[in-house]
Every structure is written in structure tokens, then in C-alpha cells.
DNA sequence: TCTTGGCTATCACTGGACGTTATAGTTGAG
DNA sequence: CTCAACTATAACGTCCAGTGATAGCCAAGA
């Protein structure tokens, strides 16, 4: 296997666009195309296919790109070591916005970034898993419904749900709430299809509660902001700080969600493992 | 970094001889020499130096060669996977003769060799550690005096010492012996400088026992054979089966030796980890 | 001491692999 | 149907990796 071609393929896999990837590599598009065709012949597998006007990687292509990224990461570590530099290759941490804002702060602060530059990628939960699987990220933090068997998952923290209410709201004096208590409420929710929205609407339906969508918002911060504006009540993870002017009441009777730290087996590196350790410690 | 040059360097590092390595690679010696010079300039480190008429790797060279071997191993695994072959790259197990003969048999039998071809390297204890460190072996089994901090070591099994005596020997009816009991004996021993010899002569000296060398022999099998010939008594690890015609009596008052399984951190692979697991299970 | 064998290191030269430019093919939007 | 954006293929040129020849180095043995 020709590793120049492999690394070119990684650049292609990152963008799925020959023209752009070729620019990135400072070669022309036909040159890149030839490399990838030869790589494909070499490994004896088709690496991508057309889908309409865009290109998508085949499973083999994804696997190969992941391998290439891994080699690059290790290679830059080794190179830095050999050259006596004290900063190694970067560690890439992927996670949702919520975890970055409220869960990962302490670990990120403690992490020795002068030794291992930290690169943070904010994305959705499912994308986080994919990013780790494809070696686009070294560490992922996400809520897992079903734990993928090909990745290492360690539970980081369980979080419950909190209902954010205006100060004078009829429910604001309660010690805790059940889904049924939100009957007739207008609620600020995450977009249709997101895990949090699914969980919430299911719990409310089970309890027989009638409710309406106040606003759809993406990201905890926005949800909280809209609740502050008084557009409706909000149901958020209990790690979110309750903002001034609102009251937080625990919501019982909904399943706790579990944040997990996800890594690729076989991609052990000192930098990565240190980050994982710090994340788990900070959650304890 | 140019990975063609890196792999050429691995071939060179395996033999420390440009001419032979070049033959192996099917290129000429000047071509190989040029590759390695350029690689050295690229990484900014001298990779080897002359020592008399032979060449030795620098620490940087060793590190780089280890990295190259690791990439090759992972690469062949990935390639086999992509091509849908069901046998992956080989796993390399390094160990002393004794462990191979008496300790590793069950694990080696159980190991799925059709899936991961097993390559066994027989060498001395210290060489075993070096082989693992340089990624010339994936797994090493050896007696460790001081555990190296840069490798993962897991204790596999403690073994005591047994004295092998002819059937009619004055000590052959005893339940156990102490080093002092071997006073005046003629003993079949391992060569001067070997760990076992050092341990034994130290124990005997501490006990004030006078003894003489019957024969020096390399390897447990030979030691036992000479004891069967009646050339002297032998002190062997208690995992050695007592041969017909001899009696085995436990030797107390000498330190147990500990066999360890040694691996390289960061070189995790399914094949390797399976082998390690089987070795540890078979020792339990 | 000198010779010899085995190897490394360096040079000038050459062929082919890889990159370039040019262009045809493909796809979907307007 | 045309256009824009991109992929795929072809012909051509260039630079670099490999070759053969040879000088340099070292140690063993005559």
C-alpha cells in the first residue's frame, strides 16, 4: 500500500470533493484522482461511489480513511518526539454543545494543552459516534441509547431532567414534577427527531399530557434563553445552571440519560488516554 | 515523512546491513542508502552510527523503526480486512526457551492460528524485552528483575525451584531442601551471567555452601538431560516435568521468579490482546 | 606491514512514475 | 436546453528514484 496515496485519500474523505481536496494537497484534481484510483486498485476495493451529484465513501473507504488518520496522528506524535519538540500532535475531542458548555469545562481546563494541543469539534450525538469511529476524533462524549460494540464506551455521568419555570408559575413552588404535571403547558423544545425531543414527547404522551410547542430551539443555551423570554417552560438536563429569573424543578419519572466517553479501540495514545482520564475524573 | 523510506529503514534496522537489506527490498545498495539518508534529513535526527565495522541504531533510529513496524503490522491487518480475507497479519510472540517448552504450550495450542498466524521467536530474557520495545515482537514472556516503565507488564505466574536428583541420592528422600543442603554437591548449571545462574550462586554463597560446576548447559532441556546422565544434580524451575529416573525435591529459601507478559502500550490489536488473554488464562 | 574481502558512501546518468494541461463526460438546477 | 460544477480520461513533460561504477573505510589474516 502506498501511504502517499492513503494520506491523499484521507484529504479526499474529509471533503468528498476531488477539486477541493486537491487544492488542499497542492496538486491538481486529475493527479489526486489518479492516486485514489490506484489506491483503490491496490487494496482491491471500491472506496467511494456516486450518489446523485455527490460522492459517499463505501464501508471499505471509511475503514481505510480511519486507518490513514490514525497513522497520521501517530506519525506526527513520533515525529515531534524524534525532533525533541515538546508539543505533540493534537488530540481531537468531539461532543455536543451541551456537554462542552456544562460538562467538559473542568477537564478541558486541566488538560495540558501546551503539550498536546486540543482540538474541539462540536456536533450532534450520532455524529460524535461517527467521528470517533472514522478516527476524525480521538475522544467523543455523547448520550448513548444503544452502545456500539465496535467502540469503547465508559459511562461518564448520569443526568436527570429539570423543568425551568418563570418565578410566578403555578408549578414553581413544587419540590418535584412528573410528566403529567406539564399538561396544558407550552414548552420550548429541541427540534423534531433529536434524542431529547423524542424522550420528552414520549414521556408526555405516556402520561397523557396535552402540550404544545412554544418554540423549537437547537442547543441548551438557546432553549434556556427562550424560557427566560417567557415563551414557555423548558425541560433541560440538570447540569444546566438555572438562570436568574427562572426556577428549576426536578422532573421525576423520565429516564436518566447517560453521558459516555467513547474511544476507538486500538487507537490508544498517551494524549488521548490522559484526556479520557481527566474527563472521567472531573465527572466523579 | 515518506513511508516508503520508513519501511526501507525497517528492513535496514532488521539487519543493520545495507547490502542485505537492499537485496531484501529488491533495490540496489546505493538506492537504499539514499533513502535512509533522506529519511534521516527529513526527521532531523541521525538514525544510526558506525561502531567499528558494524552499524548500530541510535535511540531515535530504534524509536523510528519501532513505529515503522507498528504501522506495517496494522497496515497488513487493515489490508486483509479490506480484501475480505479471513487471516490477518501475524502476531509475534517472543520468549525464552523454557517458557515456550513448559509454560506457553496450552495458550499456543488454543490460539486461533488460522485467523492470526503466530510467529514465535525464541531468545533470552533481556532480548525479549528489547524485541517488544522495538516492536519486533507483539508479546514477550520473560522473567523480570526490574519492570521497565515504558512497557506494560502483567505477572503471569510465580515459579519456585526444584532440585533434580538421581533416585538413590542422599537427599532424594527429603520433602524439601534448603540451599545449604547442596553443600559439596556438583551441580549442572546455566552459563555464567545468566539470571538463573546468578540467583543460584548467590543463594548458595549466602548459605555458605561449597559446590562445584558439573557442566554448564544452555536451556532447561539440556540441563535436565545432563542431570539424567548423572553428571550432577540440577536446580530447575518447578514447571519442568521431572524425567524418569530422577526425583524432584522442592528447594526452599530461594526467591520465586515471576514470569511476566510484556507488551507495548499503544500497540493494542485484537490479535495481540487475544494472545495475551489466553496466556494469562492458561497460567491461572 | 601489506593485501584482501566485505561493506558503506558518493557520483553521474537514465527511465519511468507522477504531475500538468486540456478536454470529454456526468449531473442537477434554472 | 443551457449552464455550472465537478469527475474522469488522455497526451505530454519533468523530476526523482534507482542503477552501475567506484572511491573510501575497516578489520582479519597472510
| pLDDT interval class at B203 (50, 70, 90) | very high
Report CB contact under 8 Å: B43, A266: no
Residues of B in contact with A63 (CB under 8 A): 78, 81-82
Mean pLDDT, residues A91-99 taken together: 95
Mean pLDDT, residues A46-50 taken together: 95
Please give the pLDDT value at position B53: 84
Pairwise CA distance, residues B227 & B31, whole Å: 54
**C-alpha cell at position A219:** 442547543
Closest chain A residue to B72, measured at CA: A1
Task: Point out the residue among A1, A74, A266 whose CB comes nearest to the CB of B79.
Answer: A1
Q: What is the DSSP string of A168-212?
A: T-TTTT-SEE-GGGGTT-EEEEPPTTSHHHHHHHHHHHHTT---E
Please give the pLDDT value at position B194: 85
Say how far residue A81 (Cα) sits from the centre of its chain.
30
A194-253 pLDDT, tens digit per residue, is 889 999 999 999 999 999 999 999 888 999 999 999 999 999 999 999 999 999 999 999
Same structural domain for residues B207 and B246? yes
Q: What is the DSSP string of B29-87?
A: HHHHHHHHHHHHHHHTS--EEEETTEEEE-HHHHHHHHHHHHHHHHHHHHHHHHTT-S-
Report CB contact under 8 Å: A43, B81: no
**C-alpha cell at position B283:** 497460567
Pairwise CA distance, residues A149 & B255, whole Å: 44
Closest chain B residue to A71, measured at CA: B71
Interface residue B81 vs chain A (CB under 8 A):
yes
Same structural domain for residues A165 and A246? yes
Same structural domain for residues A261 and A152? yes
Query: Chain C positions under 7 Å from a protein CB?
Result: 6-12, 18-22, 27-28
Mean pLDDT, residues B24-46 taken together: 95
| Plot region of B135 (φ>0 → left; ψ -120 to 50 → alpha; else → beta) | left
Please give the pLDDT value at position B146: 87
Same structural domain for residues B58 and B91? no
Residues of A in contact with B67 (CB under 8 A): 74-75, 78
B120-133 pLDDT, tens digit per residue, is 999 988 899 999 99
- Is the pLDDT reported for residue B2 higher than 90? yes
A159-192 pLDDT, tens digit per residue, is 999 999 999 999 999 999 999 999 999 999 998 8
Same structural domain for residues A132 and A266? yes
Which residue in B10, B59, B67, B264 has the most chain A C-beta atoms within 10 A of its own C-beta, making it the best mutation to test that interface? B67
Please give the pLDDT value at position A192: 86
Mean pLDDT, residues A38-54 taken together: 93
Same structural domain for residues A54 and A124? no
Average pLDDT, chain B: 94
Please give the pLDDT value at position A162: 95
Strands (E), A3-108: 48-51, 54-57, 91-95
- Is the pLDDT reported for residue B145 higher than 90? no
Give the DSSP letter of residue A180.
Answer: G
Interface residue A82 vs chain B (CB under 8 A):
yes
Say how far residue A37 (Cα) sits from the centre of its chain.
32
**C-alpha cell at position A85:** 519538540
Question: How much of chain A, in percent, has pLDDT values that exceed 90?
Answer: 90
Q: Which amino acid residue lies closest to nucleotide C18, measuring CA to C1'?
A: A31
Listed by range, residues with Cβ under 7 angstroms from strand D are A 16-19, 29-30, 33-34, 37, 50, 55; B 2, 4, 26-31, 34-35, 38, 50, 52-53
Average pLDDT, chain A: 94
Please give the pLDDT value at position A219: 87
Interface residue A74 vs chain B (CB under 8 A):
yes
Which residues face A93 on adjacent strands? Answer: A120, A139
- Is the pLDDT reported for residue A146 higher than 90? no
| pLDDT interval class at B195 (50, 70, 90) | confident
Report CB contact under 8 Å: B43, A67: no
Same structural domain for residues B6 and B143? no
B174-184 pLDDT, tens digit per residue, is 999 999 999 99
Same structural domain for residues A104 and A167? no
Interface residue B70 vs chain A (CB under 8 A):
yes
- Is the pLDDT reported for residue B219 higher than 90? no
B36-80 pLDDT, tens digit per residue, is 999 999 999 999 999 888 999 999 999 999 999 999 999 999 999
**C-alpha cell at position B109:** 495450542
Same structural domain for residues B75 and B6? yes
Closest chain B residue to A39, measured at CA: B79
Mean pLDDT, residues B95-114 taken together: 95
Query: How many domains is chain B built from?
Result: 3
Q: Are A174 and A224 in contact (CB under 8 A)?
A: no
Kindly report the CATH number assigned to the domain that includes residue B214.
Answer: 3.40.190.10
Mean pLDDT, residues B17-36 taken together: 96
Same structural domain for residues B76 and B104? no
- Domain of residue B37, residue span: 1-83
Please give the pLDDT value at position B147: 93
Q: Which amino acid residue lies closest to nucleotide D22, measuring CA to C1'?
A: B30
Mean pLDDT, residues A113-130 taken together: 95
Pairwise CA distance, residues A181 & A261, whole Å: 34
Same structural domain for residues B53 and B111? no
Same structural domain for residues A178 and A217? yes
Pairwise CA distance, residues B238 & A111, whole Å: 49
Please give the pLDDT value at position A194: 85
CA-CA distances (angstroms) from residue A9 to A4, A64, A98, A134, A166?
9, 9, 33, 13, 53
**C-alpha cell at position B134:** 522495538
Report CB contact under 8 Å: B64, A45: no
How, if at all, do strands B161-166 and B246-251 pair? antiparallel
pTM of the predicted protein model: 0.91
Report CB contact under 8 Å: B75, A63: no
Amino acid at each position: 500500500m502506498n501511504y502517499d496515496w492513503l494520506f491523499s485519500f484521507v484529504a479526499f474523505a474529509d471533503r468528498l470533493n476531488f477539486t477541493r481536496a486537491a487544492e488542499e494537497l497542492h496538486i491538481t484534481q486529475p493527479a489526486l484522482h489518479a492516486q485514489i484510483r490506484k489506491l483503490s486498485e491496490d487494496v482491491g476495493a471500491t472506496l467511494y461511489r456516486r450518489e446523485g451529484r455527490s460522492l459517499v465513501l463505501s464501508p471499505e473507504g471509511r475503514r481505510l480513511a480511519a486507518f490513514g488518520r490514525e497513522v497520521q496522528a501517530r506519525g506526527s506524535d513520533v515525529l515531534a518526539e524524534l525532533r525533541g519538540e515538546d508539543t505533540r500532535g493534537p488530540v481531537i475531542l468531539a461532543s455536543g454543545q451541551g456537554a462542552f458548555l456544562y460538562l467538559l469545562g473542568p477537564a478541558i481546563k486541566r488538560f495540558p494543552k501546551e503539550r498536546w494541543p486540543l482540538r474541539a469539534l462540536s456536533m450532534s450525538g450520532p455524529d460524535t459516534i461517527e467521528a470517533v469511529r472514522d478516527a476524525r476524533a480521538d475522544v467523543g462524549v455523547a448520550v448513548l441509547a444503544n452502545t456500539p460494540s465496535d467502540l469503547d464506551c465508559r459511562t461518564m455521568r448520569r443526568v436527570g431532567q429539570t423543568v425551568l419555570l418563570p418565578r410566578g408559575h403555578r408549578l414553581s413552588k413544587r419540590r418535584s414534577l412528573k410528566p403529567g404535571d406539564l399538561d396544558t403547558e407550552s414548552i420550548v423544545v429541541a427540534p423534531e427527531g433529536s434524542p431529547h425531543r423524542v424522550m420528552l414527547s414520549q414521556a408526555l404522551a405516556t402520561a397523557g399530557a396535552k402540550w404544545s410547542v412554544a418554540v423549537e430551539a437547537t442547543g441548551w443555551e438557546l432553549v434556556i434563553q427562550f424560557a427566560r423570554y417567557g415563551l414557555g417552560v423548558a425541560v433541560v438536563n440538570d447540569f444546566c445552571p438555572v438562570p436568574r429569573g427562572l426556577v428549576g424543578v426536578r422532573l421525576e419519572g423520565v429516564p436518566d440519560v447517560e453521558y459516555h466517553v467513547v474511544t476507538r479501540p486500538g487507537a490508544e495514545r498517551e494524549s488521548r488516554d490522559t484526556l479520557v482520564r481527566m474527563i472521567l475524573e472531573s465527572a466523579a
